[in-house]
Amino acid sequence: MTLPAQFAKRIGRMKASEIRELLKLLDQPGMLSFAGGIPDPALFPAEAFAEAFQSALTPEHQAQALQYSISEGYLPLRQWIAAHMAEMGVTCAPENVLITSGSQQALDYLGKLFLNPGDTALVGWPTYLGALAAFNAYEPRYDCLRPGDNQPPEAYAAAAEVAGGRVKFAYMSPDFANPTGVTMTRAERVAALQMAEALGAAVIEDGAYQALRFDGESVPPMLALEQEQKGGDLDACRTIYCGTFSKTLSPGLRVGWVVAATPVIQQLVLMKQAADLHSATINQIATHQVAARLFDDHVASLRAVYMRRRDAMLAALEAHMPEGVTWARPEGGMFIWLTLPEGISSATLLERALAQEQLAFVPGQAFYADGSGANTLRLSFSNSNETVIAEGMARLGRVLNSAL
């Protein structure tokens, strides 16, 4: 095969991880996996979707549901999203909303919109692996943005210039981040907005887990905080909010959205047109029907279930983790992030866990743009019941004790 020689240079940055190979073992009987950050399928509102799809396919509605549609997305769904954003303190018109095929597509488009090769993207160390994967295709340089660190904006700008580009955006997931579970305080959000302002950079706010708060005080989205600072003028905002129905209703339907200033949305609509014309019409119609019918009640029941699972995992970690292993208590989302003693490799630990205990998790290194974080790992509590979580953490304790 001679074609790989013809592949574009950017392909060099798009690599499959070795972890993927290991995680292929997950289907083995008896395996307990805390690796995938996925919703529990038993909680999908399948009946409501069945009715919604059935109704969309009646003679009355099928001509619309099975037809091409506009790139911006199904208007009633965009109207629902505008009302949903208003509940979170963001005032926007349906014209400021673009429907995407999952928020992952939005991350790809935003990389395409902003990044020339060598430009700088500010991300957390660690950050969402899928964001790095999406941005990598546009050949950026990464720099680390830590909420609360005292690095002045000029230092980021100067380093970006040395690398031959500019700081184009800061990507963050301020609520129950993947992988850390950490939530940014209001002060940290304001400071990050100030930093972006000083750099003339955009803020990409990933709200994937925002609806899944179990306890504590909710903090307004960065876009809401910025819009308030700017007297309500969304078009003056540099924050681009990415939302998704994947963690609340269904990831398989691939329905997400972007809310941003009009010029940003207009440009993204052109990208959507060029890339896939529009997201699946019938999926948007069904998502709208189901969201309008039961979103709040459904999310309330998800929160209750996931909160019990978080609590079960925290209790089991307390019971089984050896000295020197630390973690934080997330107020929502799907993840608990563990830091192991220095020198312990979580990738090696995963090999042992799979072989000795039929246990899986995600080693943390893949979430670091600089390849550090070898002694960290991510556990997901969303897709296992309390009994499985207790057994899984006991297994993790045994593997760790044998490694330490």
Q: Which residue number places its CB atom closest to ligand PMP?
A: 102
Task: Identify which range of 51-59, 97-105, 227-235, 304-312 contacts ligand PMP by CB under 6 A.
Answer: 97-105
Bridge-based pairing of strands 167-172 and 202-206 is: parallel
Query: Cβ closer to ligand PMP: 69 or 287?
Result: 287
| Least distance between ligand PMP and beta carbon 71 (Å) | 18
Q: Which residues contact 300 (CB under 8 A, 6 or more apart)?
A: none
The window from 99-107, 159-167, 195-203, 302-310 that contacts ligand PMP (CB under 6 A) reads 99-107
Q: Does 102 bind ligand PMP (CB under 6 A)?
A: yes
CB-nearer residue toward ligand PMP: 69 or 103 = 103
User: Min. distance of Cβ 208 from ligand PMP in angstroms?
Assistant: 4
**Residue 140 is a binding residue for ligand PMP (CB under 6 A):** no
Q: Is 382 in the site for ligand PMP (CB under 6 A)?
A: no
State in angstroms the smallest separation of the CB of 138 from ligand PMP.
17
By C-alpha distance, which of 306, 307, 335, 283 is closest to 43?
A: 306
In the complex with ligand PMP, the residue whose CB is nearer, 103 or 287, is 103
Q: Considering the rule CB under 6 A, would residue 49 count as an interface residue with ligand PMP?
A: no
Among candidate residues 95, 90, 85, the one with its CA nearest the CA of residue 225: 90
Do 180 and 328 contact (CB within 8 A), yes or no? yes
Nearest Cα residue to 22 out of 382, 386, 349:
349
Among 69, 71, 246, 375, binds ligand PMP (CB under 6 A): 246
Does residue number 248 form part of the binding site for ligand PMP (CB under 6 A)?
Answer: no
Please name which of 385, 387, 393, 386 lies closest in space to residue 40, comparing C-alpha atoms: 385
Number of residues that bind ligand PMP (CB under 6 A): 14
Tell which one of 33, 69, 71, 104 touches ligand PMP (CB under 6 A). Answer: 104
Binding characters for ligand PMP, 156-175, by CB under 6 A (x = yes) = -----------------x--
109 or 357: CB nearest ligand PMP: 109
CA distance 263 to 371: 35
Report, in Å, the least distance between residue 254 CB and ligand PMP: 7
Question: Least distance (Å) from ligand PMP to the CB of residue 305?
Answer: 18
Residue 282 CB, nearest distance to ligand PMP (Å)? 18
Q: Exactly one of 33, 34, 37, 253 binds ligand PMP (CB under 6 A); which one?
A: 37
**Quick check: 376 binds ligand PMP (CB under 6 A)?**
no
Q: How far is the CB of 30 from ligand PMP (least distance, A)?
A: 26
Question: Is residue 181 within the footprint of ligand PMP (CB under 6 A)?
Answer: no
Binding residue (CB under 6 A) for ligand PMP from 178, 284, 365, 380: 178
Rg (CA), the chain: 21
From CA 159, how far away is CA 138, in angstroms rounded? 19
Under the binding rule (CB under 6 A), the answer on residue 130 touching ligand PMP is yes
Among 244, 287, 289, 380, binds ligand PMP (CB under 6 A): 244
Residues engaged in binding ligand PMP (CB under 6 A): 37, 102-104, 128, 130, 173, 178, 206, 208, 244, 246, 251, 256
